[in-house]
């Protein structure tokens, strides 16, 4: 398993359009695009910063994971995504090392990436996403 970089930082927000102003107009980061991932009940908007991106996440349904996150913890950083060279291999290796996984198998993320989440109970409270593109 090789961790290549911080792929993106996921930030849960109530309204992307509203928060977009901060990142694009005030901070001057170009808006790379938005995408709705129906199976995860989320719309994402990407803002590239150097080698990484800021990913805004807005729930598309009241029972979606982002809606639930905001309900219990408020808006803010929801996850950190690490780019790996081989996600299947990484999951196997981490499982063997005793790390609790939310996803045993990769699922489809925004931008055609393969993603999988590690359980925050195994990562000291941080929701870590592995991503391979």
User: Contact residues for Zn ion (CB under 5 A)?
Assistant: 10, 81, 129
Nearer to Zn ion, 10 or 65 (CB): 10
| Closest distance of CB 17 from Zn ion, Å | 19
CA 109 to chain centre: 8
Looking at beta carbons only, is 1 or 37 nearer to Zn ion?
A: 37
The distance of closest approach from Cβ of residue 27 to Zn ion in the complex, given in angstroms and rounded to an integer, is 19
Which residue in the shown chain puts its C-beta closest to Zn ion?
Answer: 10
Closest approach of Zn ion to the CB of residue 21, in Å: 21
């Amino acid at each position: 398993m090789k961790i290549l970089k911080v792929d993106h930082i996921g930030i849960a927000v109530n309204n992307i359009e509203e928060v977009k102003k901060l990142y694009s107009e005030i901070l001057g980061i170009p808006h790379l695009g938005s995408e709705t991932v129906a199976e995860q009940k989320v719309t994402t908007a990407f803002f590239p910063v150097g080698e990484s991106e800021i990913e805004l996440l807005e729930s598309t349904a009241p029972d979606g994971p982002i809606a639930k996150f905001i309900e219990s913890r408020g808006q803010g950083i929801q996850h950190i995504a690490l780019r790996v060279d081989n996600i299947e291999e990484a999951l196997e290796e981490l499982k063997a090392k005793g790390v609790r996984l939310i996803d045993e198998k990769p699922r489809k993320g925004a931008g055609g990436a393969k993603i999988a989440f590690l359980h925050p109970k195994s990562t000291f409270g941080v929701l870590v996403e592995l991503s391979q593109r």
